[in-house]
Amino acid sequence: MRRSVLLVFACLLIGVACGAMAQQSATEIPAKLQVIRAGRLVDVRTGQVTTGAYITVRGDRIVSVTTTAPGGGAPVLDLSRYTVVPGLVDAHGHILSNPTTQSSAAYLITSAPQATVRGVANLQLWLTHGFTVVRDACEPYPAYPQFALREGVAKGLIQGPRVVAAGSCVSLTGGHGDADRLSPDKPGLDQPNEVDTVDDVSRIVRRDIKFGADWIKLMATGGVMDPISDYRVQELSDEQMARAVEVAHRAGRKVMAHAEGTVGIKAAVRAGVDSIEHGTMLDEEGARMMAERGTWLVPTLYCFQHDLETGLSKGREPASMAKGIAIVKEQGPAFRRALAHHVKIAYGVDDDDVDESVSKEFGALVRGGMTPLEALQAATINGATLLSLDQDLGTIEAGKYADLVAVQGDPLQDISAMEHVRFVMKAGVVVVPAAGK
């Protein structure tokens, strides 16, 4: 008996010792040290450009930014031919989007698993174009595949940008977020996102939060891509939007509102939403309200322009196309009003074809009246601030995540340089190596 006790005691001692050694070994392994040599480094806060900068990275964070080469023998990634900017933020994407079709019936013939597979591919495209953060601006699938993709990226199971995700497209029955295109004599779809009363709003907002929503997405007005709603018309009532904001903010979540028509934009702003998406018919009063209340605008200029180029080629309904032609005339004046009132603006694409379009919003913003630096700020520090990520992302400085993008050319002189990404690093890991390296 005594011998058995001694044996157990010895085993316990050995186990404790092994555990302590393993812990000590783990703590002694230094994080990887690497140095990035930038030909031109843009400070997006000020527009100042530093030539021949050295960015020292330990693990996933930036340690220092200097103009002299650090010692220590760390490997150097030579980006001396390129301009280096922070990792980019797309504040309005739809991860599950399908670039091959613009038919409003696509949802009816696409399963959630099929859409999720497409989402994996889309996330990889965002990342290769330099976007290390994307905010998903709602999806129609009740099972929330966007949350699964967000968690897959966070756990390292799939490659992609960090995902900040809204839940349902909170909509009236027959509104812009109603995905049921079946005839009235067919069994209707189960769409928990449909809200026709104030209490319905509480239910779906709480459902979204329960299953993991970072943001709540409201369809404040009709839209363009569907063939049934009127983008000029306010859909959710003032009371419904106020309830959504109340419930979401109480839970520590933010609220974004699809709002195109003038009346609906102002109603959403009065309700207290955190960002207006599109704002395509923003008037002077609305712009002033947004500036006074600090409401963000994500204008998504290029997607409307691109839709006119693709026309009906991807199965888009003629009724939708007619709306697109009409509303794009409102876009330029509305955006100039936002700029004149100094409304806070973040970069967002909202185009189904990620590979073709995700970098084209830069040019659209500049054509709309922004300077190249302002356009770059919209996709970096502004986007990070909107998403409450600015403590860790949005600029290149010590202490922040090593999210770095190198482009060919000088985007402060020619913003189209942002369409020519040559290197991408996310959290200290090179995901797109520089050519020839």
Owning domain of residue 404: 33-87+395-432
- Spatial distance between the Cα atoms of 150 and 435, rounded to a whole number of angstroms: 29
Let me know whether 173 and 279 are in one domain. Answer: yes
Residue 74 is predicted with a pLDDT of: 87
Report how far residue 222's alpha carbon sits from residue 238's, in angstroms, rounded to the nearest whole number.
15
∠201-207-197 over CA atoms, to 5°?
15
SS3 285: helix
For the chain, percent helix, then strand, then coil, each to nearest 5? 40, 20, 40
84-113 tens-digit pLDDT: 999 999 999 999 999 999 998 899 999 999
Q: Are residues 272 and 316 in the same domain?
A: yes
Answer whether residue 9 is part of any domain.
no
Q: What is the pLDDT of residue 436?
A: 57
Query: 331-336, long-range: CB within 8 Å, 24+ apart, which pairs?
Result: 331/280, 331/299, 331/301, 331/304, 331/305, 331/368, 332/368, 334/279, 334/280, 334/281, 334/282, 334/283, 335/279, 335/282, 335/299, 335/301, 335/368, 335/369, 336/368, 336/369
DSSP labels, 156-210? TSS---EEEEEEEEEB-TTSTT------TTSPPP--TTB--SHHHHHHHHHHHHH
All residue ranges of the chain with pLDDT < 70 are 1-28, 436-437
The answer to whether residues 66 and 113 belong to one domain is: no
> From CA 393, how far away is CA 87, in angstroms rounded?
8
Whether 258 is in a domain gets the answer: yes
Name the domain count of the chain. Answer: 2
377 & 425 share domain: no
- In-domain check, residue 63: yes
Query: What's the one-letter identity of residue 369?
Result: G
Domain shared by 361 and 277, yes or no: yes
Q: Are residues 287 and 344 in the same domain?
A: yes
- My answer on whether 181 and 221 are in the same domain is yes
CATH number at residue 427: 2.30.40.10
Both 382 and 402 in one domain: the answer is no
| pLDDT at 87 (0 to 100) | 98
CATH number (domain holding residue 219): 3.20.20.140
> What is the reported pLDDT for 254?
98
Q: Is residue 27 part of a domain?
A: no
Assess whether 374 and 401 both reside in one domain.
no
Q: Alpha-carbon distance 240 to 218, whole Å?
A: 10
Query: Domain check: are 47 and 192 in the same one?
Result: no
Burial letters 155-164, b for 16+ CB under 10 A, else e: eeebebbbbb
Residue with tokens 């290390």: 132
CB 385 within 8 A of CB 394: yes
My answer on whether 189 and 267 are in the same domain is yes
For the purposes of burial, counting CB atoms within 10 Å of the CB of 57, is it exposed (0-12), middle (13-18) or buried (19 or more)?
buried
pTM of the model: 0.92
Nearest Cα to Cα of residue 95 among 54, 60, 144: 144
